[in-house]
C-alpha cells in the first residue's frame, strides 16, 4: 500500500494548473501574477525601507544616523541575506502561504525553507552575471527552487532578471578550484567542463556565459509588484545594473527544496554533522530528516510526528510485463517464494 496525503485546504489556496506545471518543467521558470496581496507587498516594501533607512537593526550592520543622506545609505549594501533568522517579517515572507502553495506543487509535497534575500538595487547599482543557483546551494537529491517576489515594477531599465528558457536542462558546472560541493557525482560526466568567475557581470570573464550563449532566446522577466517568478536551480539567469535615474528595484528572493533532500549548506556558516537540515524550516508536509520550526511563530502547514504516515491508503500500483499484461504485487509472490524455499530447506535438512 502507498500513502496519498491531501494538501491543506484554505479558501485562498493557489492551485497550480497542469499547464503551469508543464510550463515550469519545460522552460525552467514560471511567473504567477499578483500572487502576493497588495497589502502584503506594502508590508514587505515598508520593512525593506526600514532596513535601508536604519529604522530597524540588522545583525552585523552598524547603525546609521537619522539624517544620513540617501546616497550614503545606498552605498552600504545592495542586498542582505538570511534575515528570516532575525526578523519576524522576513520569516513571514519566506513562509508566505500562496508562495508555498506553488512550491509544494512544483517540488513538494514536503517543503524545506532555506534562504531569504532582500534586494534593494538602487539607481546605478546591482546586477549579477550568469549563474545557476544550485552552484551555490547543494541539495541531495537536487530539488532546489527559487521564488522572486517583485516588491515594485521590475523592467529592463531598473535591472529585472533575465532567463534563458530551457537552460535548466544543463548540469551544474563546477568551479575550477573545486571549492564548492558539487550536486553531481565526481567522474560521472565525460565533458562537464569547469567554469570560472560565475556571477561576474563581464561575460568575457564569466565563462558560464559560453553556455548561456547556446540559448539564443534570452528574455527579460518583466514583473509588477505582487508578481512572483519561480525558477529552477539549474536555470541560467542574470541581471544588469539599475540604469534608471530614480527608481529602485526592490525584491524579496527565497529558496526552498523538497524536505526529503539532504542539505549540507548554511549560507557559509558552520553547522554540526554532515548536513544543516536542522537549521532550516519545515514549511510544508513532513520529513524523515531533522528540521527547524519557525522562530517567530509563523503558522505553517506541516504534519506532526504523530500524524506522519496517516494519509489515505491507496492500492499498490501494478507493474507492466513483457507481454503487455499487468502483474499485481510481485513483492507478495517473492515473500511466498522465500517462505516455500525456507520450508524446502528445512525438509531437506531433516531428511
For residue 162, give the C-alpha cell: 533575465
pLDDT tens for each residue of 76-126:
888 999 999 999 999 999 999 999 999 999 999 999 999 999 999 999 999
| Cell (9 digits) for 262 | 539532504
pLDDT at 183: 87
From start to end of 16-144, where are the E strands? Answer: 29-32, 79-81, 111-119, 128-131
As a whole-number percent, the residues of the chain with pLDDT over 90 amount to 72
- Of 17 and 73, the structure prediction assigns the larger pLDDT to 17
Q: What is the arithmetic mean of pLDDT over 3-30?
A: 90
Q: How far is CA 74 from the centre of its chain?
A: 28
pLDDT at 75: 83
pLDDT score of 152: 98
Tens of pLDDT along 73-82? 888 888 999 9
Say how far apart CA 121 and CA 128 lie, in whole Å.
11
CATH 2.60.120.620 spans which residues of the chain? Answer: 2-314
Beta bridge partners of 327: 319
User: Which has more confidence, 14 or 322?
Assistant: 14
Assessment of whether the complete model's pTM goes beyond 0.85: yes
Calpha distance 246→238 (Å, rounded): 22
**CA distance linking residue 34 with residue 223, whole number of Å:** 9
Predicted pLDDT of residue 341: 53
Burial 105-128 (b: 16+ CB within 10 A, else e): bbbbbbbbbbbbbbbbbbbebbbb
How large a percentage of the chain has pLDDT more than 70? 84
Q: Is the pLDDT of residue 308 over 60?
A: no
Pairing of strands 301-302, 281-285: parallel
Q: 319 versus 278: which is more confidently predicted?
A: 278
The model's confidence at residue 345, banded by pLDDT at 50, 70 and 90, is: very low
In the predicted model, is pLDDT for residue 321 greater than 80? no
2-314 to CATH, choices 2.60.40.420, 3.90.226.10, 2.60.120.620, 3.40.30.10: 2.60.120.620
Give the pLDDT of residue 198: 96
Residue 5: predicted pLDDT = 67
What would the pLDDT profile of 24-36 be if each residue is shown by its tens digit? 999 999 999 999 9
pLDDT tens for 190-246 read 999 999 999 999 999 999 999 999 999 999 999 999 999 999 999 999 999 999 999
pLDDT band at 348 (very low <50, low <70, confident <90, very high): very low
Whether the per-residue pLDDT at 323 is higher than 80: the answer is no
Average pLDDT over residues 49-69: 87
When the pLDDT of each residue in the chain is averaged and rounded to a whole number, the result is 88
Using CA atoms, how far residue 23 sits from 19, 28, 90, 219, in Å, is 6, 8, 29, 15
For 142-192, how does the pLDDT look when each residue is reduced to its tens digit (9 = 90+)? 999 999 999 999 999 999 999 999 999 999 999 988 766 788 887 899 999
What is the C-alpha to C-alpha distance for residues 158 and 225, in angstroms, rounded to an integer?
Answer: 14
Amino acid at each position: 500500500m502507498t500513502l496519498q496525503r491531501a494538501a491543506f485546504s484554505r479558501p485562498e489556496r493557489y492551485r497550480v494548473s497542469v499547464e503551469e506545471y508543464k510550463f515550469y518543467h519545460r522552460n525552467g521558470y514560471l511567473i504567477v501574477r499578483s500572487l502576493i496581496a497588495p497589502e502584503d507587498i506594502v508590508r514587505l516594501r515598508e520593512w525593506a525601507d526600514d532596513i535601508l533607512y536604519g529604522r530597524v537593526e540588522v545583525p552585523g550592520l552598524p547603525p546609521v544616523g537619522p539624517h544620513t543622506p540617501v546616497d550614503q545609505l545606498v552605498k552600504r549594501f545592495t542586498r542582505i541575506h538570511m534575515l528570516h533568522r532575525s526578523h519576524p517579517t522576513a520569516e513571514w515572507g519566506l513562509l508566505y502561504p500562496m508562495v508555498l502553495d506553488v512550491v509544494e506543487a512544483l517540488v513538494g509535497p514536503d517543503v524545506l525553507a532555506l534562504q531569504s534575500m532582500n534586494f534593494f538595487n538602487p539607481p546605478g547599482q546591482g546586477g549579477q552575471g550568469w549563474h545557476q543557483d544550485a552552484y551555490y546551494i547543494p541539495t541531495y537529491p537536487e530539488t532546489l527552487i527559487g521564488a522572486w517576489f517583485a516588491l515594485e515594477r521590475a523592467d529592463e531599465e531598473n535591472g529585472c532578471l533575465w532567463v534563458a528558457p530551457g537552460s535548466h536542462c544543463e548540469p551544474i558546472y563546477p568551479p575550477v578550484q573545486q571549492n564548492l560541493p558539487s550536486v553531481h557525482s565526481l567522474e560521472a560526466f565525460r565533458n562537464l567542463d569547469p567554469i570560472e568567475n560565475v556571477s561576474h557581470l563581464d561575460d568575457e570573464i564569466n565563462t558560464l556565459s559560453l553556455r548561456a550563449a547556446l540559448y539564443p532566446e534570452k528574455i527579460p522577466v518583466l514583473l509588477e509588484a505582487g508578481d512572483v517568478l519561480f525558477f529552477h536551480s539549474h536555470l541560467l539567469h542574470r541581471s544588469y545594473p539599475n540604469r534608471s535615474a530614480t527608481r529602485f528595484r526592490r525584491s524579496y528572493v527565497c529558496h526552498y527544496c523538497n524536505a526529503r533532500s539532504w542539505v549540507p549548506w548554511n549560507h557559509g556558516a558552520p553547522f554540526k554533522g554532515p548536513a544543516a537540515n536542522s537549521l532550516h524550516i519545515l514549511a510544508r508536509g513532513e520529513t524523515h530528516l531533522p528540521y527547524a520550526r519557525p522562530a517567530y511563530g509563523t503558522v505553517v502547514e506541516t504534519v506532526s510526528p504523530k500524524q506522519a504516515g496517516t494519509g489515505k491508503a491507496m492500492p499498490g500500483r501494478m507493474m507492466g510485463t513483457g507481454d503487455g499484461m499487468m502483474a499485481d504485487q510481485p513483492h507478495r509472490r517473492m515473500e511466498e517464494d522465500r517462505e516455500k524455499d525456507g520450508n524446502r530447506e528445512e525438509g531437506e535438512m531433516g531428511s
